[in-house]
Chains A and B, each alone.
Chain A
Amino acid sequence: MSEVLIQALGLGVDLGGRRVIDGVSLTATAGQTVAVVGPNGAGKTTLLRALAGLLPCTGELRVTKDRAYCAQKPFSAWDYRVRDLGEIVGDPAGFAVWLTKLGLADFAERRLTEISGGEQKCAHLAMALAVLPEPYGALLLLDEPTASLDLAKQAAVHQAIRACAQAGAACVVATHDLAFARRCDQVIVLSEGRLVATGQPGTTLTLEVIAAIWGAPDVTEA
């Protein structure tokens, strides 16, 4: 049995007096990828922030200290050069390696305002990945890492996630990409802050669930 890196039982989060997450449970062991899916406003970002320890929550939450969180919309107040980001997270070499893997090796000397939103997102992901001393036993919490990325960058990010998982990290990924979710070990379907379905992709991303949540036929199935 692999090491449990994150375990949440009956997690609840209140924001501004409103219950945003209610009774969500989730367990991930080393080497697993978990996709968190759901429509806009379902509570994916709030759930990830709570799992990262950034929000006060009720319920039971056990999570490894060795973790990295990548926000949905990274934005720096200052116009750093891309290579500065490695020094900022304290591991320039590790950052450079991830930057190359994510296809941004040629962008190291550019300023953040000189690269696109998708490229900024990849650079931010490289920061998050560089924070981890080694993937084994670490938890990666990624909030929509492929949103606004082109196909090549999406593939590179998916490959990076798989590489981390194969090296023994647990990856919890909020995403709208159901094709990616289908290739994960577990899928958590959220709607209005509650669990709609949880388990392996085959049992969670059924036509019934998709129709009930998104109200549209699953185009990726076709």
Chain B
Amino acid sequence: MTATKAFLAGFVLLAGLVVLALSVGAQGFGWGDGGSLVLLRTPRVLAALAAGLALGVGGAAQQGVFRNPLADPGLTGVFGGALFGIALLLGFFPEAAWQRAWCIPAAAFTGALATSALLVVLGGGGGTSRLLLAGLGLNAFTAAGTLVIASRSGESRELLTNGAYGDWLGMATLELTWLPVLLTFIAAAWLLTLARSLDLLSFGEDAARGFGCDVSRVRRNAVLLTALAAAAATCLVGQVAFIGLLAPHLARQLVGPRHAKALPLSALLGAALLLGADTIGRGLWPQAPLSAAAVTAVLGAPLFIWIARGRHE
């Protein structure tokens, strides 16, 4: 498939999904009187789009920076770190958390950045298994930390547990979402400027430097921006592990591995996947919606296995 066709198909799919997502909900199918239900559903749709976009582009960027098709911020603990950051804030400074719009995103970003830094230190330079092992360890640690805090703080318990299950989209309001949405777009746009450098980096540090690439700067920026995207996505939806793996694989399958094409298509597909998952979860069970993360995993896992098999045959 040519890149133009893939992007066109992606946009049409996304547009269709947005219309569908705005049409379904707890009140059933329809837009309500004068579109009142549409207004009600807009923040949730916006949050799902932005979070999916951040998951898609963040996954592709992390895979690029670690030169590893299995590096997914969900598996390597970066999302876990973001949620752990939020948990620390809610657990120890519950009053401060809601005072300013930036408090929770800042906590998520700090957590994501700290995990990313640890991942670079502990998992860098040792090939696939070392990176993934370090990431899995960090993921387990941050998940456990979040659950410990959740179990000890009565007020935030349900909130944090829902976050760990990727079930925050239902809380989306414009007040809560505008900042993470903005951060997502900033991170995504900035990451796109690193596309050619990530291509060069794929040949290894030495080769990339030999081709005139400022490897340290690219790596630092990519890690920072991936952490920012992960933090924004976590604030919007909670923890969703799979899209960061699935969207980039699908994108590379469709338009090839050049980051200039794979990064934006991965963002587009990530947005479509999360919005699609959330819409299915709400549309099929309006009274007790399934979380976007659960639907993503149920539908995404077989799709991912199918893609992975195709890749290696």
Q: Which residues of A contact B (CB under 8 A)?
A: 49, 52-54, 68-71, 74-81, 84, 87-90, 124, 127-128, 131, 141
Q: Which of B61-75 contact A (CB under 8 A)?
A: 67-69
Mark contacts of B249-270 with chain A using CB atoms, 8 A cut-off: 1 yes-contact digit, 0 otherwise: 0001000111000000000000
Using A79-B257, A87-B258 as known contacts, say yes or no to A69 and B196 having CB atoms under 8 A apart: no
Judged by a CB distance under 8 angstroms, whether B5 is at the interface is no
Contacting residues, chain A, for B207 (C-beta < 8 A) = 69-71, 74, 124
B199 touches A71 (CB 8 A): no
B220 at the interface (CB under 8 A from A): no
13 contacts between A and B (CB under 8 A): A52-B206, A52-B209, A68-B210, A68-B211, A71-B206, A77-B67, A80-B199, A80-B257, A87-B258, A88-B258, A90-B196, A127-B211, A131-B210
| Of A76, A124, A131, the contact of B212 (CB 8 Å cutoff) | A131
B200 within 8 Å of A (CB atoms): yes
Chain B positions 190-213 with a Cβ under 8 Å from a chain A Cβ: 196, 199-200, 202-207, 209-212
Chain A contacts of B204 at CB under 8 A? 71, 74-75
Q: Is the CB of B196 within 8 A of A76?
A: no
Which interface residue of A81, A89, A131 has the most chain B CB atoms within 10 A?
A89
The answer for the CA separation of A131 and B210 in the assembled complex, in Å, is 9
Question: A69 to nearest B CB, angstroms?
Answer: 3
The interface size of chain B toward A, counting residues with CB under 8 Å, comes to 20
State the Cβ distance, A192 to closest chain B Cβ, in Å: 22
Digit string of B136-147 for contact with A (CB within 8 Å is 1, else 0)? Answer: 000000000000
A84 / chain B contacts, CB cutoff of 8 Å: 199, 256-258
The residue on B at minimum CB distance from A77 is B67
Main secondary structure of the interface of B (DSSP, over half): loop
Among A74, A76, A81, residue most surrounded by chain B Cβ atoms (within 10 Å): A76
B256: chain A residues at CB < 8 Å are 80-81, 84
CB neighbours (8 Å) of B202 from chain A are 76-78, 80
Distance (whole angstroms) from the CB of B169 to the closest CB of chain A: 32
CA distance A141 to B252 in the complex (A): 33
Closest chain B residue, CB of each to CB of A72:
B206
A52: B residues at CB distance < 8 A: 206, 209-210
Q: Quick check: A80 and B211 within 8 Å, CB to CB?
A: no
Cross-chain contact A80 with B196 (CB below 8 angstroms): no
Q: Once the chains bind, are B67 and A54 in contact (CB under 8 Å)?
A: no
Nearest chain B residue, comparing its CB with the CB of A49: B206
Known: A52-B210, A88-B196, A88-B199. 5 other contacts (CB 8 A): A68-B210, A84-B199, A89-B211, A90-B196, A131-B211
B203 and A76 within 8 A (CB): yes
Task: For B209, list chain A residues within 8 Å (CB).
Answer: 52-54, 69
Q: Which 4 pairs of residues, A with B, have the shortest CB-CB distance?
A: A69-B210, A78-B257, A77-B67, A88-B199
Q: A74-B207, A127-B211 are in contact. Are A88 and B257 (CB under 8 A)?
A: no
B95 shortest CB reach to chain A, Å: 46
Most buried by A among B68, B204, B205: B204
**Most A Cβ at <10 Å: residue of B206, B256, B257:** B206
Most chain-A CB neighbours within 10 Å: which of B67, B202, B203, B209?
B203
Residues B210 and A71 in contact, CB atoms below 8 Å apart: yes
Task: State in angstroms the CA–CA spacing of A131 and B200 once bound together.
Answer: 12
B162 CB, nearest partner CB in chain A, Å: 36
> What's the Cα separation between A70 and B257 when bound, in Å?
22
B257 surroundings in chain A (CB, below 8 A)? 78-80, 84
Q: How far is the CB of B202 from chain A (nearest CB, A)?
A: 5
> Are B206's CB and A69's CB within 8 A?
yes
CA distance A128 to B209 in the complex (A): 11
What's the nearest-Cβ distance from chain A to residue B272, in Å? 23
Judge whether A80 and B210 touch: CB under 8 Å. Answer: no
